[in-house]
Amino acid sequence: MKKIPLLIIGSILTTASFAQFQKNDRLLSGQVFFNNGSEKNINTNAKISGLSTGINLSASKFSSATRYNSIQLSYTYTTNKQDNGSGNISKFSNNQIGLSLGRTMLSPLASRFYLSIPITGGFSIGQGKNRNNSILSASSNSFSVGVSASLGLLYQTQKRWVFMANIISLGQLSYNNSRIKSYNTSGQIVNQSRTNAVSFTGGFAGTPFNNLSIGVGYLLR
C-alpha cells in the first residue's frame, strides 16, 4: 500500500519533464460511449435489458501544460426493456441533449501518456416514452443539472492527434425534474404528474470499462 502514494508523488514530480502540451493550446475532440446489460430469470423466463449510447463533442483550451477547460455538447439515447416471461413487454426509451463546462487535470505517467481527471458540470433536457406491448402508456419531459468527476487516460501522438478514454466514474451529484403524462389504451391522457429527485453516486461507481467512453481529438496551436 505504501507504493501507491509514492507513485502519485512521483507522477507529480515528473510533470515538467513529460509535459508535451502548452498553455493556450486548443483541443477539438469527440467521444462515444456505450453501456449495455441484461438479466434473465431462468425460472420465469423474465428478462430485463438496457442500453445507453451517445456522443460528446467538445472544444478545449489549455490553461497550463497539465490543465485544460472545455465546453461540451452531448447527445444520449437510453432504452430499457422488460419482459415478464408471459408475453407482456414494457419498453422505455429516452433521448437527451446536454451542455456542460469542464476542467481536466492531467498527471503524466510516461512521455505523452497521462492519467486524466475530468470534472464537469452542466444541464440536460430529455424526452422519454414508455410502451406496453407497443402501445404508448406514458411520456415524459425532463430537465436535469449536475456535476460529475471521472478517471481516464490520455495519449498524445508525436503529431497533433490525441486519444482519450474515460474509464471509471468517481462520483456524480444531480437534480432531476420530470413531467409525466399517462395514457389509456385509446391514447387519451388519464393522469399528469411531476417528480423531483436529487441523487448522488460516490466512490468508484461501476466496474472498470462498465462506464467506458473513448474518443479522439486534434490539437491546434
How many angstroms separate the Cα of 34 from the Cα of each of 51, 52, 130, 209, 211? Answer: 8, 6, 21, 10, 8
The answer on pLDDT for 17 being more than 70 is no
The one-letter code for the residue type at 178 is: S
Place of cell 407497443: 134
pTM of the predicted model, to two decimals?
0.80
Reported as a single tens digit per residue, the pLDDT across 83-94 is 888 878 899 999
The answer on pLDDT for 209 being more than 60 is no
Average pLDDT, the chain: 86
Percentage with pLDDT > 70 across the chain: 87
Q: Quick one: cell of 184?
A: 389509456
- Looking at residue 211, its pLDDT comes to 59
Top-confidence range, 16-20, 117-121, 205-209: 117-121
pLDDT band at 130 (very low <50, low <70, confident <90, very high): very high
The answer on pLDDT for 4 being more than 50 is no
DSSP run (H or E) holding 216:
strand 213-220
The region that residue 14 occupies, defined by phi over 0 for left and psi between -120 and 50 for alpha, beta otherwise, is alpha
Reported as a single tens digit per residue, the pLDDT across 28-77 is 999 998 888 888 888 788 889 998 899 999 999 999 999 999 999 999 99
The answer on pLDDT for 1 being more than 60 is no
